[in-house]
Structure 1
Amino acid sequence: MSAHKWQFSARFRRHAFGWRSDTPIQRIKEALAEIKLVARKEPVVAAEGAVTLLEKLSPALEQVDSSSGSLGSAVNRAIDTLVPIIAKANVEPDVRQQWLERLWQALENDGIPYLELLGEYWGELCATPEMAAKWADKFLPLVEYIWVPQESGRGFFKGTIACLASFYAAGRHEQLLTLLGRAPFRWWHYHQWGVKALVAMGKKAEAVRYAEQLRGVNDPGWQIAESCEAILLSSGMAEEAYRRYALEANRGATNLATFRAIVRKYPNVAPEQILRDLINSTPGAEGKWFAAAKDAGLFGVAIELVNNSPTDPRTLVRAARDFAVSQPEFAVASGLAALRWLALGHGYDITVLDVLDAYSTVLHAAEKAGRDIQQVKGQIVDLLSGTPVGKQFLKTVLSHPQ
């Protein structure tokens, strides 16, 4: 394999960065771009570069402040990107063994830790069942040792997850389940490999039961639900998957993202039914599903929500503005709801401009809907007449809105 001069190499010297995380995050992105560019034409060279970068990451980042979590996320994304490049490279077993030895050394020396995610991917990095079996046997004695109670407690071994992943990749599923039966803790982090092993053995119903038995105070319920949902879907049991797991397994960063994810995954379930089920799953926060209802074109449901549950006034004003022409009645209702929740003290850092914007948007939508403008103004007056004492801000602003 010919030597390749990597530009990123010199930038990832030990303690190359100060305490700020913005520069190392940018350097990681640049290094990934460099490796991916080489991978287009020289996949083996790129894989060697990927191993080199993973070796250098932890020593270079030791002094960086990682308290925000952004640097750890950047490293995890880098691992997600680099592992397939290493795994897919077509090399002789001795070369792959050398790469794995180097990565294992990096993982052992990783003090922060940054590279612990590598263990999850160890089976993929091995690339063949034979190589995975070799590493499973290498890790096994230490895993068995730390899982036996000692007088001083139990030990810790960085290769535990890598061992489980190796057994799975080697196809040694019965041995994996036997080993997990001796695990001292019922952690999903460990026992997810048992679920995977049972699925690989064709025992899908047993895999779901196995996963469900792992639920506990500290276990990630959504990950268990996600795994069970995938098993049921792969078995053609979409109705049961939706009923038991869809709402828990597909939580996104926003309610809208959650709704969209479930709609994509379950095309045979009516979007309104999905939305109603999601709304019922969050009692007291119904109004937060307004954006999902609007996105689905369920305008009646959207207005029903915001008339009965607080919703961010700025979100309602944006909806009124965006739909003033295409759905003017919905826009009017959204704007009136925005004024109502503003009057009741909802919204963050509300200014005079926010109030005037809501007022003018309602009138614009009313005009597009062919409504009597004076009648709508009267509705606004009636709406504000019930404002609690101390919530006179809107009345003051709108006393001379022009």
Structure 2
Amino acid sequence: MTTHKWQFTPRFRRHAFGWRSDTPVQRIKEAITEIKQVARKEPVLAAEGAIILLEKLSPALEQVDSSSGALGSAVNKAIDTLVPLIVKADVEPTLRQRWLERLWQALQDDEMPYIERLGDYWGKLCVTPELASHWGDEFTPALTHNWGLPRGEGGYFKGTSACLSALFAAGRHDELLALIDKAPFKWWHDRRWGVKALSAQGKKAEAIRYAEESRGINDPGWQIAQTCEEILLSSGLRDEAYRRYAIEANQGTTNLATFRAIAKKYPHKQPEEILRDLVASTPGAEGKWFAAAKDAGLFDVAIELATRSPTDPRTLTRAARDYAEKQPAFALAAGLAALRWISLGHGYEITGADVLDAYSAVTQAVPNAGVPAQLVNEQIRDMITSTQPGNSLMKTILTRHLSN
């Protein structure tokens, strides 16, 4: 193999970084870029570089404050990127075995831990069933012993995921299931390999039951739902997958993201049906689905939702402003809903500018909606004459405008 001087290696000496996470995150990105550039022409050399980086990560990062999650995410992304480079390299089994021995040592030295995710990829890193079986034989006795100790006496065996992954890659599915049954407690992180084994054997209904039996107080229900959903979809059971798991398995960072994810995965479902099901899953929070309904072009449904429960006034105002010409009736209703929720005291740190923005959006929509301005102003006056928490602000801001 060509001797190569990696630029990243001196930057990842032991305790190279202080407590701040921004610099190590940047250095990890730079190292990955360097390795990927080499991979274009020399994949084996790039794989060697990937292993060197994985060996150096944990010792270099030991003193970094990782509480924000940014560093952990960067390391996980690095592992996800580097593993395929190692797998793709065409090398003799003896060299791959040496690579795996180095990675196993890195896992054992991973005190924080940072690279424990590497164990999930162990079967893939072995490349061949024969090598995976060898590592399964290496790990199984230690894991069996660890799980057989009285509760409270055994520590966590760092080769747990690697062992289960290796047995799965080796096709030793029955042994894998029998081994998981020896675990002292049910934990999804381990039992997901049992689900994989049952699925690989074609026992998909049993795999779903096995996954459902893994649910517990501390288990990630959404991950279990995603796994079960994937099994049903792969079996062509789209309606059952939707009915049982779509909502739980596709939660996004926003309600709109959740709706889009489900609509994309289940194109045979009508958007309104999906939206209605999502709304039903969050009783009392119907207004939070306003943006999803608007995004789907379900304008009547959007207004219906915005009137049923509190909806963010600023979101309503933006919708009113954006659709004043394209959907004036919708825009007018959204603007009035914004003022209504402000008058009822809803909205985060509402200011006079927010009130004026909502009123301005209403006045822009009125001409195109074909509704008399006087009638709209009367509706707004009714809002501010009732005794509600936000009325003093609205009355102060809008009295002059409504008197014209």
Please state which band the TM-score falls in when normalised by the shorter chain.
over 0.9
Cα shift at 1:154: 2.5
TM-score (norm 1): 0.97
Per-residue CA deviations over 1:89-142 (Å, capped at 9, x if unaligned) read 111111211211111111111111111111111111111111111111111111
1:81 has 2:88 as partner: no
Whether contact under 8 Å (1:343, 1:387) holds in the other structure is no
CA, structure 1 residues 261+163, in 2 after alignment: closer, same or farther (shift >3 Å)? same
1:392 has 2:388 as partner: no
CA, structure 1 residues 140+20, in 2 after alignment: closer, same or farther (shift >3 Å)? same
1:39 has 2:51 as partner: no
Residue in 1 aligned with 2:253? 253
Provide the C-alpha distance between the structure 1 equivalents of 2:125 and 2:223, rounded to a whole number of angstroms.
23
Q: Give the unaligned 5+ runs of structure 1.
A: none
Q: Give the unaligned 5+ runs of structure 2.
A: none
Which structure 2 residues correspond to residues 235-246 of structure 1 after superposition, within 5 A?
Answer: 235-246=235-246
Cα shift at 1:335: 0.8
CA, structure 1 residues 294+3, in 2 after alignment: closer, same or farther (shift >3 Å)? same
Tell me the percent identity: 68
CA, structure 1 residues 320+100, in 2 after alignment: closer, same or farther (shift >3 Å)? same
Residue in 2 aligned with 1:97? 97
Provide the C-alpha distance between the structure 2 equivalents of 1:171 and 1:372, rounded to a whole number of angstroms.
74
Which structure 2 residues correspond to residues 280-319 of structure 1 after superposition, within 5 A?
Answer: 280-319=280-319
Cα shift at 1:325: 1.4
Cα shift at 1:236: 0.8
TM-score (norm 2): 0.96
In structure 1, the residue corresponding to 2:400 is in which secondary structure?
coil
Residue in 1 aligned with 2:339? 339
Residue in 2 aligned with 1:195? 195
Which structure 2 residues correspond to residues 2-401 of structure 1 after superposition, within 5 A?
Answer: 2-150=2-150, 153-388=153-388, 391-401=391-401
Higher mean Cα deviation, 381-390 or 97-106? Answer: 381-390
Provide the C-alpha distance between the structure 1 equivalents of 2:366 and 2:56, rounded to a whole number of angstroms.
62
Per-residue CA deviations over 1:258-289 (Å, capped at 9, x if unaligned) read 11111111111111111100000011111111
Provide the C-alpha distance between the structure 2 equivalents of 1:155 and 1:25, rounded to a whole number of angstroms.
30
Whether contact under 8 Å (2:345, 2:389) holds in the other structure is no
Per-residue CA deviations over 1:297-345 (Å, capped at 9, x if unaligned) read 0111110011111111111111111111111111111111111111111
Number of residue equivalences? 402
Provide the C-alpha distance between the structure 1 equivalents of 2:391 and 2:22, rounded to a whole number of angstroms.
43
Which residue type is aligned with residue 369 of structure 2? Answer: A
CA, structure 1 residues 330+35, in 2 after alignment: closer, same or farther (shift >3 Å)? same
In structure 1, the residue corresponding to 2:275 is in which secondary structure?
helix
Provide the C-alpha distance between the structure 1 equivalents of 2:181 and 2:98, rounded to a whole number of angstroms.
32
In structure 2, the residue corresponding to 1:400 is in which secondary structure?
helix
Cα shift at 1:151: 7.9
Cα shift at 1:373: 2.0
Cα shift at 1:150: 3.4
Regions of 4+ moved over 3 Å: none
The RMSD of aligned alpha carbons is 1.4
Provide the C-alpha distance between the structure 1 equivalents of 2:349 and 2:216, rounded to a whole number of angstroms.
40
Cα shift at 1:13: 1.4
Cα shift at 1:389: 5.3
